[in-house]
Amino acid sequence: GESVGLHLPTLSVQEGDNSIINCAYSNSASDYFIWYKQESGKGPQFIIDIRSNMDKRQGQRVTVLLNKTVKHLSLQIAATQPGDSAVYFCAENSLTGGGNKLTFGTGTQLKVEL
């Protein structure tokens, strides 16, 4: 069945370093993928998305890479800051099964060390 998973539950980085958060997915028919950031006590906040017909998309300090061959998605955060500390979720948006719903991974906790 469909699944979206993350390789690492916790990632610790030094302030100023680059962070890379990985995600694997299994549904090759997905339309697009989204990264969300969830800070403690808050709902998920949209970071960036990428369509299935793209390999790379850049935002402000963030880049998402999509490798459809191995069904792998990554989020790169440049010059990681303390405010980046949060749980990051990748999500797959699928129109199969008669609905439009997000399938989320379990999340990666990003900890930024000063």
Partner 1 sequence: EAGVTQSPTHLIKTRGQQATLRCSPISGHTSVYWYQQALGLGLQFLLWYDEGEERNRGNFPPRFSGRQFPNYSSELNVNALELEDSALYLCATQQGFLAKNIQYFGAGTRLSVL
C-beta of 51 vs 56, nearer to partner 1 = 51
C-beta of 83 vs 97, nearer to partner 1 = 97
Taking the complex as a whole, the smallest distance from the CB of residue 78 to partner 1 amounts, in Å, to 22
Pairwise CA distance, residues 74 & 59, whole Å? 13
Pairwise CA distance, residues 99 & 93, whole Å? 10
Taking the complex as a whole, the smallest distance from the CB of residue 95 to partner 1 amounts, in Å, to 6
Residue corresponding to tokens 């302030």: 15
Binding residues for partner 1, rule: CB under 8 A, are 31-32, 34, 36, 41-46, 49, 51, 89, 91, 93, 95, 97-107
C-beta of 45 vs 67, nearer to partner 1 = 45
Instruction: Tell me the CA distances in angstroms from 67 to 11, 59, 63, 70, one per residue in order.
Output: 21, 18, 13, 6
